Amino acid sequence: MIRRTRERGAAAVEFALILPILLVLIGGIVDFGRAFFAQVVITNAAREGARAAVVGADASARAAAAASGLSSAPAVTAGSCPSTGSAQVTVTVVTPFDWILLGPALSLIPGPELLPDQLTASATMQCGG
Looking at the structure of the chain, the number of domains it has is 1
The answer to whether residue 78 is domain-embedded is yes
Most confident stretch, 22-31, 80-89, 102-111: 22-31
pLDDT, tens only, 4-37:
566 778 888 999 999 999 998 999 999 999 999 9
What range does the domain containing 58 cover? Answer: 9-126
pLDDT confidence band for 63 (50 / 70 / 90): very high
Out of 24-33, 67-76, 92-101, least confident range: 67-76
The answer to whether residue 3 is domain-embedded is no
pTM: 0.81
- Identify the CATH number of the domain in which residue 106 sits: 3.30.1300
- DSSP, residue by residue, the chain: -HHHHHTTTHHHHHHHHHHHHHHHHHHHHHHHHHHHHHHHHHHHHHHHHHHHHHTTS-HHHHHHHHTTTSSSPPEEEE----SSS--EEEEEEEEE---SSHHHHHHTS-SS--S-SEEEEEEEEES--
The answer to whether residue 2 is domain-embedded is no
The answer to whether residue 1 is domain-embedded is no
